[in-house]
Structure 1
Amino acid sequence: MAGAPELPQATLERSHPIAYTEAGAGDIVLLIHGSLCDYRYWRWQIPQLSASYRVVAASLRGCWPRAGTHPDPGYRIATHVEDMIALTDALGDGRPVHVLGHSRGAQIALEFALRAPERCKTLTLADPGFRFTHEAPVEPFYLPAVDLLAQGETDAAAEQFIDTVNGAGTWRKMVGWFKQMVRDNAATLRSQVLEANRPEHLEDIGRIECPVLLLGGADSPARYAARQDQLQAVLPRARREVIRLAAHGMNLANPRAFNRACLAFLGDGA
């Protein structure tokens, strides 16, 4: 991940401005990042995907470069969905877009497709971690990180979160730009925990009609594959791919395989 390319920044001016980066031309591919990230997370996807599509990667409200004060009760999935719909409507004149979300961003992507199905051309969910309505709420795995943030221990909080989702020792091995991105967004966990158990209805998901791709890291914690098992049960035509040599941060650990899987799916779903 060394030598990461710089990304130009643009802003959609509205009551809550949305910072984003874009490249390429054609149908829009919207990239939605997960926890502790922002549009910089997608720097290894944008160059390759933008050779065939207009790639738009946004920073969610409350994240860098317009990090707010946390905890913030307005930092919510529904608000982020509204923002992403507004962004794609503004940039694409309301035409359908390809929506790809990772981790918490996968829940935003899913709810985008449920709320505005006519605007969603394809849906890609990479390691979604949300619970379903038939499951009991569970204690968020990142509660220790939230406690560390309250004590001003940002790096320790980041290490707890990143190592839990990607494997012990991951934080220590990460390159500088990634660590800085995580530090810039670490405080969002103090808001995210307020909505940690927002559930999704499998019956609603089963009515999704657009093509769906489920992506998982071969070495991701088992809970992510379990999410995909249940999604595939109600979306039997969904394509499923496993990214080898990668855990939860699959698009960074093995970007070639991740990009190849996305491009193959987008081409078939066009």
Structure 2
Amino acid sequence: MQTVSVNGYDMAYLEVGEGPPLVCVHGSLCDFRIWSATLGPLTRTHRVIAVSLRHFFPDRWDGIGDTYSIAQHVEDVIAFIEQLEPKPVDLMGHSRGGHVSFRVAQRRPDLLRKLILAEPGGELDATLDPEFKPGPSPLAARIAASAEVIARGDIDGGLQIFIDALEGPGAWKRLPAAVKEPLRDNATTLIGQTRDKRPPFSKADAEAIRTPTLFIGGANTKGALPKVLHTLAAHVKGARTEIIPGTTHPMFEQAPQRYCEIVLDFLAGS
């Protein structure tokens, strides 16, 4: 593990392999460790640089303050990439990290060669979703309920609410102990996420992406994530979409070999 100062914060990251740089951005409740199952295949041809966003492990954040937001994470990732050589880099984000990576591509396409979005998190506004309703989404309401329980000190109780909302009832209890521990390490970030003010995706946002883009999804993912993925993919010019059978939201942990084959094929293409 290494750290680099970005916007006054020591961002931790893991760097493995040699070759063109591939920057990986994790999702909610995760950190740079989440990419471990993909490192073997990806580092055969790429220098993989997996970051931990502000306030995620190894940071031990108390959930207090206004320095946790999509906007801050986007600024941090931009500042991180600006310090890398060579540029442009390939950027891969999952879930919340997919949203962050999308916004980086929107803001600074000059920093990127290719973009990979694995079920990017977020909501669609009225220009992309005729059923759009202002106000908190169902998932945002679940996050708020989870964060409230975590803030009271019941880490496992709060995580159960969040994980079961994503993966279905009983999902938290079925998780192996080794999988639960990193989630506990990052539990307080959900408190910050309730104050996120994450902007929804718009048609103009999607049409503004000019970086060659790959969307990857799990065939069995529940909730709004598949709708967000397919809608964005339909409006990002030239986007490619791959769905991995038999997987859900953490598809690169469930089918790492297939996931990496898709990613490497995309990165190798012209």
What RMSD, in angstroms, separates the aligned Cα atoms of the two structures? Answer: 1.6
1:48 equivalent among 41, 47, 50: 41
Aligned residue type for 1:29: L
Deviations 1:25-58 (A, max 9, x none): 1211111000001001111112211111110000
Counterpart secondary structure, 2:9: coil
Moved more, 64-73 or 205-214: 64-73
Retained in 2: the 8 A contact 1:103–1:129?
Answer: yes
Q: What displacement does 1:197 show?
A: 4.2
Retained in 1: the 8 A contact 2:144–2:191?
Answer: no
Is structure 2 residue 24 aligned with structure 1 residue 31?
yes
Deviations 1:4-38 (A, max 9, x none): xxxxx111135210100011112111110000010
Matched residues in 2 for 1:222 and 1:207: separation? 26
Q: What displacement does 1:146 show?
A: 1.3
* Percent of paired sites with the same residue: 32
Is structure 2 residue 91 aligned with structure 1 residue 99?
yes
Matches within 5 A, 1:240-255: 240-255=241-256
Aligned residue type for 2:24: L
Structure 1 counterpart of 2:117: 125
Structure 1 counterpart of 2:79: 86
Matches within 5 A, 1:2-41: 9-14=1-6, 15-41=8-34
Matched residues in 2 for 1:199 and 1:28: separation? 29
Aligned residue type for 2:239: A
Matched residues in 2 for 1:172 and 1:16: separation? 35
2:63 equivalent among 70, 77, 96: 70
Which stretches in structure 2 are left out of the alignment for 5+ residues? 127-131
Retained in 2: the 8 A contact 1:137–1:197?
Answer: no
Matched residues in 2 for 1:169 and 1:22: separation? 35
* Residue 68 to residue 105, structure 1, CA distance change in 2 (3 Å): same
Retained in 1: the 8 A contact 2:70–2:198?
Answer: no
Matched residues in 1 for 2:208 and 2:259: separation? 27
Matched residues in 2 for 1:161 and 1:222: separation? 13
Retained in 2: the 8 A contact 1:166–1:249?
Answer: no
Superposition TM-score, scaled by structure 2 size: 0.91
Counterpart secondary structure, 1:228: helix
Retained in 1: the 8 A contact 2:26–2:93?
Answer: yes
Retained in 1: the 8 A contact 2:217–2:249?
Answer: yes
Deviations 1:77-135 (A, max 9, x none): 12111211222222225x11111111111110001101110111111111122113323
Aligned pairs, number: 260
Aligned residue type for 1:167: G
Superposition TM-score, scaled by structure 1 size: 0.91
Aligned residue type for 1:116: R
Counterpart secondary structure, 1:99: strand
Counterpart secondary structure, 1:20: strand
Structure 1 counterpart of 2:160: 159
Q: What displacement does 1:236 show?
A: 4.6
Retained in 1: the 8 A contact 2:74–2:104?
Answer: yes
Structure 2 counterpart of 1:267: 268
1:112 equivalent among 99, 104, 117: 104
Which stretches in structure 1 are left out of the alignment for 5+ residues? 1-8
